[in-house]
């Protein structure tokens, strides 16, 4: 929309007439806020990539290289082989059993999630049957690095908080997904299963461990709604072993009282160790 000089002058007079205090005065200049320090302070409180700036129409070279390095670390975490011996060495006082899923190799595991949820037929016969309250399954999942770094410490820390429960042998599962724990627990006669699994790597973390708790799992029937999950176990940047094991032990105790996990079991921890269903 354009106006002539006469129309513009008339509009200015009308505006001044509406202003009870006379002509509108220009605002005092405001000192511009420099965002660099603000973004720097925020980046200290998160691993998210925020306020990275730009070089022309692209990311600055340093941040672009960091992104490529993070992507490479995530790919390595997914494809690096699981080393059961490394985990076993960190559990010297606990019986350990090794099993495989029905996925014969890593490529098949990635392409066929369903096979990663089922036990290899041969390995099922190697599992002992007992009156176990809980069995721990250490599964490579999508980050063997997370399992190597954190799983054994979580097993020991959680088991130490459950002196009154009958804990079965630790099962190390290769090419495994979370639901493989249902098959293992059913085969062993365990009431509950805790699956410690390498979580899907992100661009900020390639070593995150998840803990999935299921009470009375039913192979092929149990869904994610029937589980409780603690994620991002990776001290010092995520949950510490002390915090995660305390929460997990409290959830196990409450699950036994409720006879259920998942949506019926809420982690509403107000005091350390206090949970409500």
Q: Which residues does residue 167 pair with via DSSP β-bridges, in sequence order?
A: 134
* Entry pTM: 0.78
Distance separating alpha carbons of residues 38 and 56, to the nearest angstrom: 21
**What band does 37 get if pLDDT is binned at 50, 70 and 90?**
confident
Quote the mean pLDDT of the chain. Answer: 86
Taking residues 99-124, report their average pLDDT: 94
User: Which residues fall within 8 angstroms of residue 42, CB to CB, at 6 or more apart?
Assistant: 50, 51
Convert the pLDDT of each residue in 4-15 to its tens digit. Answer: 555 656 655 655
Confidence at residue 69, expressed as pLDDT on a 0 to 100 scale: 85
Q: What does the block give as tokens for 70?
A: 């993070």
Whole-angstrom CA distances from 53 to 17, 50, 56 are 46, 9, 10
Tokens 């290289």 correspond to 65
Q: What does the block give as tokens for 277?
A: 């269903």
User: Which residues fall within 8 angstroms of residue 264, CB to CB, at 6 or more apart?
Assistant: 258, 277
């Amino acid at each position: 929309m354009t106006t002539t000089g006469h129309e513009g002058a008339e509009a200015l007079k009308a505006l001044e007439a509406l202003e009870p205090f006379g002509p509108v005065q220009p605002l005092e200049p405001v000192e511009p806020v420099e965002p660099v320090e603000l973004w720097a302070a925020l980046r200290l409180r998160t691993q998210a990539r925020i306020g990275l700036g730009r070089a022309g129409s692209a990311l600055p070279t340093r941040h672009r290289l960091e992104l490529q390095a993070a992507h490479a670390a995530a790919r390595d975490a997914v494809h690096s082989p699981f080393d059961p011996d490394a985990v076993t060495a960190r559990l010297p006082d606990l019986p350990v059993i090794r099993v495989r899923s029905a996925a014969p190799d890593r490529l098949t595991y990635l392409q066929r999630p369903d096979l990663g949820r089922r036990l290899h037929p041969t390995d099922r016969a190697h599992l002992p049957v007992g009156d176990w309250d809980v069995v721990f399954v250490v599964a490579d999942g999508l980050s063997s690095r997370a399992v190597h770094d954190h799983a054994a410490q979580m097993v020991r820390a959680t088991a130490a908080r459950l002196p009154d429960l009958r804990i079965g042998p630790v099962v190390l599962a290769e090419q495994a997904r979370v639901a493989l724990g249902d098959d293992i627990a059913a085969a062993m006669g365990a009431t509950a299963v805790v699956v410690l699994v390498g979580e899907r790597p992100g661009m900020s973390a390639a070593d995150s461990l998840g803990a999935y708790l299921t009470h009375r799992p039913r192979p092929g029937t149990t869904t994610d709604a029937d589980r409780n999950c603690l994620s991002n176990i990776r001290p010092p940047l995520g949950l510490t072993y002390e915090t995660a094991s305390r929460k997990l032990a409290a959830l196990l105790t409450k699950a036994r009282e409720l006879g259920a996990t998942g949506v019926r079991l809420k982690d509403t921890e107000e005091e350390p160790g206090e949970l409500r269903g």
